[in-house]
Amino acid sequence: MTLTKNDMPFKITAPVGYVVEPVRYRGELCRVFVGDLLDHGRRHAQDYWLARGFVLPDASLLYATWEALYDQRHNSEKRSVETVRKLFDDDLKEHWLMTGTRIQYHASELDSILHNYNTPEQYLLTAKLGGKEGFVSDDYGLVIQALFETDNVGKFRNVVEWIAGVPKKQTCLWSEYADEYNTHALVLGVDDSDSRFNIDADDGYLSLPVRAVAVKKYFKKNRGTK
């Protein structure tokens, strides 16, 4: 029998860090651990983090975690939800966040979005990011789906703006020009005026902190198993 969200009560536990469950990530229900900033909050470029064996949360895992928190913001765990939301809010406003997602631009074909970049779990999605800049509208659906693995742009904006504590309809995407073929880490953050959530896919050589966010999938049980 495959588990569904309705089979499991939402909860957040905090032995060391926070365990958020259930979170739907890549089509499966998971436990997600949210811990401290890695390497004592030091700032590094994406390649530096990865070369030293750190595991970076890709953009789709971050969004899946944020969406789970958003969906439960009014339930019995709302105080714990707000505590974890505030961690990410502070990260995005104080120093932005590095992700484990890498963008490879291509001049004449779809751009490559590599989630869990340079790890055994790396996987590829494609969309045309080049030339896409400005406030995220419904026209950005294919791009948002490739970057965050959600096809609901309206809810996506609601979730990230709630996480970041910014006004409604203030989510922006920044990318390379349409004919470029560079490669960048995907980074996320809020502008200096605390008024806009930014999806930055054109300045990926920045050195930024990483929040520890790790996933563990639930085991599926077949009918008749104990």
Summarised one tens digit per residue, pLDDT across range 116-151 is 999 999 999 999 998 888 999 999 999 999 999 999
**Token match 């920045």: residue?**
206
Summarised one tens digit per residue, pLDDT across range 147-196 is 999 999 999 999 999 999 999 999 999 998 766 678 999 999 999 888 99
pLDDT score of 5 more than 70: no
CA–CA separation, 86 vs 17, rounded Å? 13
* % of the chain at pLDDT higher than 90: 74
Q: Pick from 26, 19, 121, 97: which is nearest to 64 by CA?
A: 26
Q: Which two tokens stand for residue 77?
A: 């765990």
Whether residue 187 contacts residue 208, with contact meaning beta carbons closer than 8 Å, is answered with yes
List the 28-37 sheet strands across, edge first.
11-13, 18-25, 28-37, 211-217
pLDDT score of 225 more than 50: no
pLDDT at 78: 92
Quick one: average pLDDT of 20-25?
95
CA–CA separation, 170 vs 166, rounded Å? 7
Q: Which two tokens stand for residue 31?
A: 């436990």
Domains in the chain: boundaries:
5-217
Summarised one tens digit per residue, pLDDT across range 77-92 is 899 999 999 999 999 9
CA–CA separation, 99 vs 14, rounded Å? 23
DSSP string, 86-104: HHHHHHHHHT-EEEEEEEE
Whole-model pTM over 0.75: yes
Quick one: average pLDDT of 40-64?
96
Average pLDDT of the chain to the nearest whole number: 89
pLDDT score of 223 more than 50: no
CB within 8 Å of 16: residues ≥ 6 apart: 35
